[in-house]
């Protein structure tokens, strides 16, 4: 493998409890996180993303499988012997210590010299823009500042990997946006691999170099935000990330690259295909609302009646009721001043480019 792999998970499972109370929090998850990338674990609560993070930190041990960090097997190592640091959801700042004492804690435990600790603490507080706050107690800081201290405390140890457990979830929207930019900046400046846990798909798309979408303890799809958004592999991913129209269709003909699919209305559409499709098989197609457009073309593959028009500022959402499909959503950019192309009750055609159609894997 040409690229430098920071974290390598091989068929990692984690089971809590036993017998009838058994919970499989992670189910044979295999994935690789590259050195220096911003990698996000995305999924709804209970999908196993936090468990995966805790396995990396060493707070839990895997039931099965291997976790390697730059080639070194981590299983069995306690958290204090792993070159990774965590930013906790609750920040977990030590309330009885000052900001400087919090930041220096890890260095002290590693036996770093006093002079070096002092230098590094100043450098870290500078990095998170909290220079001069060293003597305060965490309780005297705002939520956003506490978050920065938590980051400084973890980064002070120059970890190989920084683990972030939904660190922005306690902040209000404006502060969260600021911290998103701040985190990206810190990651760029330090070059440290970030593993970021979130249930917020927008956050995941905007911040990550790559991400994994998880559900029920499984890694469903791994890829760049663009790959995940444009080419979701299955129904869950298509549905969880952004808005999606799902269409049931039958395969007319297909090779590995593209195919023709027959919609229930009888219309044929072109789309990106995948391996192993045989003619006649039933498949689910996904189509993003912004990749579809309203059209006057009488031969448009879908026709329906506009049920609702919602103005969003940058774009307008049309909900079109299509026979045998249900409500179909079309989003169009408001490039002409936001005048609706068609009103409620009118009948319209819906057309789309062949590469807008994605065949799902279930």
Partner 1 sequence: MANRTAAPKPVSLKRFPGLATGAAFFFVYLYLPILFVVFLSFNENRIATIWTGFTFDWYPLVLGNADVLRAAQNSLIVATFASVIATMAATLAALAMTQGRAMRRQEVVNGSLALPLLIPEIVTAVATLIFFVAIGMPLGLLTITAAHTVFCIPFAYLPIRARLEGMDPSLREAAFDLYANERQAFFRVTLPLLWPGILSGLLLAFIVSLDNFVITFFVSGPGSTTLPVYIYGMIRTGVTPEVNAVSALLLLVSLVLVTVALLLSRRET
Q: How many CB atoms lie within 10 A of CB 15?
A: 15
Distance CA 161, CA 188 (A): 13
Q: State the sign of the Cα–Cα–Cα–Cα dihedral 299, 305, 308, 309.
A: positive
Half-sphere exposure of 165 (CA within 13 A, CB side): 22
User: Residues 182 to 201: which contact partner 1 by CB under 8 A?
Assistant: none
Cβ 106 to partner 1 shortest distance, Å: 4
Interaction residues for partner 1, span 121-180 (CB under 8 A): 139, 143, 153-154, 157, 170, 172
Structure tokens at 351: 């057309």
Beta bridge partner(s), residue 214 = 219
Give whichever of 39 and 91 is closer to partner 1, judged by the CB atom.
91
The secondary structure of 116-168 as a DSSP string is HHHHHHHHHHHHTT-TT-TTS-GGGS-HHHHHHHHHHHHHTT--SEEEEESTT
57, 179, 283, 306: which one binds partner 1 (CB under 8 A): 57
Q: Give the residue with the Cβ less far from partner 1, 49 or 210.
A: 49
**Sole residue written with tokens 């003597």:** 135
Q: CB of residue 21 vs partner 1: minimum separation in angstroms?
A: 12
- Of the candidate spans 2-10, 54-62, 257-265, 310-318, the one that interacts with partner 1 by CB under 8 A turns out to be 54-62
CB of 258 to partner 1, least distance (A): 49
Q: How far is CA 211 from the centre of its chain?
A: 5
At 197 the three-state DSSP class reads strand
Three-class SS state of 11 = strand
**Site residues (CB under 8 A) for partner 1, limited to 80-99:** 80, 84-86, 88-90, 92-96
Cα radius of gyration rounded to whole Å, the chain = 25
Please tell me whether residue 110 binds partner 1 under the rule CB under 8 A. yes
Q: How many residues bind partner 1 (CB under 8 A)?
A: 28
CB of 355 to partner 1, least distance (A): 43
Candidate ranges 55-63, 185-193, 221-229, 239-247; the one touching partner 1 (CB under 8 A): 55-63
Question: Residue 80 CB, nearest distance to partner 1 (Å)?
Answer: 5
Of 58, 167, 225, 271, the one binding partner 1 (CB under 8 A) is: 58
20 is a contact residue toward partner 1 (CB under 8 A): no
N residues, the chain: 362
The string over 265-285, giving b where at least 16 C-beta atoms fall within 10 Å of a residue's C-beta and e elsewhere, is beeebbbbbbeebeeeeebbb
Task: Catalog residues that contact partner 1 under the rule CB under 8 A.
Answer: 57-59, 78-80, 84-86, 88-90, 92-96, 105-106, 109-110, 139, 143, 153-154, 157, 170, 172
């Amino acid at each position: 493998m040409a690229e430098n792999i920071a974290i390598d998970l091989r068929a990692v499972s984690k089971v809590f409890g036993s017998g009838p109370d058994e919970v499989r929090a992670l189910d044979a998850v295999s994935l690789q996180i590259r050195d220096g990338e911003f990698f996000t674990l995305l999924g709804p609560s209970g999908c196993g993303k936090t468990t995966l993070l805790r396995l990396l930190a060493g707070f839990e041990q895997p039931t099965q499988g291997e976790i390697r960090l730059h080639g070194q097997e981590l299983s069995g190592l306690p958290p204090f012997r792993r070159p990774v640091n965590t930013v906790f959801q609750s920040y977990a700042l030590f309330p009885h210590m000052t900001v400087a004492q919090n930041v220096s804690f890890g260095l002290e435990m590693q036996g770093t010299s006093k002079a070096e600790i002092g230098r590094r603490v100043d450098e870290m507080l500078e990095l998170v823009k909290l220079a001069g706050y060293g003597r305060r107690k965490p309780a005297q800081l705002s939520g956003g500042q506490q978050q920065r201290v938590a980051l400084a405390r973890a980064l002070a140890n120059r970890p190989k990997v920084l683990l972030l457990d939904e660190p922005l979830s306690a902040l209000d929207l404006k502060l969260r946006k600021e911290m998103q930019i701040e985190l990206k900046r810190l990651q760029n400046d330090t070059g440290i691999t970030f593993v970021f846990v979130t249930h917020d798909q927008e956050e995941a798309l905007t911040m990550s170099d790559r991400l994994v979408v998880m559900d029920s303890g499984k890694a469903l799809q791994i890829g760049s935000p663009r790959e995940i958004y444009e080419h979701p592999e299955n129904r869950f991913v298509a549905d969880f990330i952004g808005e999606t129209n799902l269409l049931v269709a039958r395969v007319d003909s297909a090779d590995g690259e593209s195919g023709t699919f027959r919609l229930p209305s009888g219309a044929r559409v072109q789309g990106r295909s995948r391996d192993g499709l045989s003619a006649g098989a039933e498949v689910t197609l996904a189509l993003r609302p912004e990749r579809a457009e309203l059209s006057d073309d009488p031969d448009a593959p879908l026709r329906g009646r506009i049920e609702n028009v919602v103005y969003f500022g940058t774009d307008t959402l049309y909900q079109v009721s299509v026979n045998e499909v249900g409500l179909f959503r079309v989003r169009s950019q408001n490039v002409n001043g936001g005048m609706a192309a068609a009103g409620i009750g009118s009948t319209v055609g819906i057309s789309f480019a062949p590469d807008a159609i994605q065949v799902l894997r279930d």
